[in-house]
Chains A and B, each alone.
Chain A
Amino acid sequence: MAETNPEKPKMAEVVSIVAHQLKNPLSVLKGYLEVLLTEDFGKINQKQKEYLSDALENIKRMTRIVDYLLDVSRIEEGRYELKLEKTSLEKITQEVLRDFSSWAEASNCQITFKKPKELPEVLVDSLKIRQVIENLISNAIKFKPAGQGKIEITLEERGKNLLFSCKDNGVGISEEDFKRVFTKFYRSEQAMELDPGGTGLGLYINKAIITLAGGKIWFKKNKDFGLTFYFTLPIFTK
């Protein structure tokens, strides 16, 4: 009989508890900084505003990391939930592109979005799929080449699925790392250099979301430069 220790919690459980414990102090810090920034209790000068804004940005970054860790622990324990609903991938993609437009421009990245006139809706969790699309496009922006970045987003119908693709001309990933791309905490050499604050959890969570929604996610090395990430999702049928 296998030896088990009922007292010893599983690692995913420990991560989940610690992440939950961190959320309250993070909410507190966020709240205090927001109140100071809205100047509810007195004026602050420009430099103070700048420092407080930077602190708030970092609190938000920590919160994202904690949320990712909670997602990972839920995935590992089989408790990750999706709210499947009729969703327009086209609308979400356009919203994400709009949100990222000034960042892309400031980063010298040109983004194009190709799609047919009419596209059916898919069955997926709209908030989580937004997270996937944001992650793929933000990776393409962050890991752009030294010159101009070119990103092509496409949406098309493929049988019973919609196919999303995000092609970049970025720094790519070495072939020896290809098998590890969707594993948790994987970070390429280039990623560690270009995005030191990253968690290495985005693609792992993306895979869980797409798989749970009945789709597939993969990537290919482009012939010239960069990578193309693809995912499919089942088209919504009544």
Chain B
Amino acid sequence: MPKEKQKILMIEDDRFLRKIYRDKLTKAGFEFIEATNGIEGTNKVISERPDLVLLDLILPRKNGFDVLIDMKSNKNTKDIPVIILSNLGQESDVKRGLALGAQDYLVKTEISLSEVVDRVKEWLVKTK
């Protein structure tokens, strides 16, 4: 890992999921920051300028699609890679997420934590 830790923002309302990803990503050498709803998520994207965002879709106050739309329409945040990590796995949701500019779309129950960490590393290299 480089000396300066790369910063991952997880926008997720489930505290248990945040906890396990915090432990896993911190252990993998990243700085982990979190937001528990869509509005807080959008604010932290702007104020914290993370290297990558892990974004849930069903969120209180503002859903993940709207967070993504706002991120991609702001010139300061549009290049931050976004991995959607959701339980919505219908083809139309995946298409919509990718069309709005997410780099990747992962379904929580179908992927292991270690695989998510691998994807985070992959996208950080690809979008450098």
> Which of A25, A40, A63 sits near B24, CB closer than 8 Å?
A40
Inter-chain contact total with CB atoms closer than 8 Å: 53
* Contact (Cβ within 8 A) A24 B14: yes
* Contact (Cβ within 8 A) A82 B91: yes
Within 8 A of B (CB), among A35-75: 35, 38, 40-41, 63, 66-67, 74
Closest CB in chain B relative to A200 CB, distance in Å? 21
The stretch among B1-9, B39-47, B65-73, B109-117 that forms the contact with chain A is B109-117
Q: Is B17 an interface residue (CB 8 A)?
A: yes
* Contact (Cβ within 8 A) A28 B14: yes
* B114 proximity list for chain A (CB < 8 A): 34, 38
* B14 proximity list for chain A (CB < 8 A): 24, 27-28
Using A28-B16, A40-B24, A81-B92 as known contacts, say yes or no to A23 and B87 having CB atoms under 8 A apart: yes
* B49 proximity list for chain A (CB < 8 A): none
Closest CB in chain A relative to B24 CB, distance in Å? 6
* Contact (Cβ within 8 A) B91 A81: yes
User: Is chain A's interface secondary structure helix, strand, loop, or mixed overall?
Assistant: helix
* A66 proximity list for chain B (CB < 8 A): 109
Within 8 A of A (CB), among B57-90: 58, 87, 90
* Contact (Cβ within 8 A) B112 A40: no
Distance of A82 Cα from B108 Cα, bound (Å): 20
User: Is chain B's interface secondary structure helix, strand, loop, or mixed overall?
Assistant: helix
Residue from A24, A34, A81 having most chain B Cβ neighbours under 10 A: A24
* Contact (Cβ within 8 A) B109 A23: yes
Using A28-B14, A28-B17, A31-B20 as known contacts, say yes or no to A23 and B108 having CB atoms under 8 A apart: yes
> Which of B17, B21, B23, B90 sits near A41, CB closer than 8 Å?
B23
Distance of A20 Cα from B90 Cα, bound (Å): 12
- For this complex, 19 residue pairs linking A to B, each with C-beta atoms less than 8 Å apart, are A20-B87, A24-B14, A24-B17, A24-B108, A26-B109, A27-B17, A27-B108, A28-B17, A30-B109, A31-B24, A31-B113, A34-B114, A35-B20, A35-B113, A40-B23, A40-B27, A41-B23, A66-B109, A83-B91
Distance of A81 Cα from B89 Cα, bound (Å): 11
* B90 proximity list for chain A (CB < 8 A): 74, 79, 81
Residues of A within 8 A of B (CB): 20, 23-28, 30-32, 34-35, 38, 40-41, 63, 66-67, 74, 79, 81-83, 125
Q: 1/0 per residue B86-104: CB within 8 Å of A? A: 0100111000000000000
Q: What's the tally of chain B residues with a CB closer than 8 Å to chain A? A: 18
Closest CB in chain B relative to A73 CB, distance in Å? 12
Residues of B within 8 A of A (CB): 14, 16-17, 20-21, 23-24, 27, 58, 87, 90-92, 108-109, 112-114
Not counting A27-B87, A32-B16, A125-B91, a sample of 19 additional A-B residue pairs whose C-beta atoms are within 8 angstroms of each other reads A20-B58, A20-B87, A23-B108, A23-B109, A24-B14, A24-B17, A27-B17, A28-B14, A30-B109, A31-B24, A34-B114, A35-B20, A35-B113, A38-B114, A40-B23, A40-B27, A41-B27, A81-B90, A81-B92
* Contact (Cβ within 8 A) B108 A34: no
* A40 proximity list for chain B (CB < 8 A): 23-24, 27
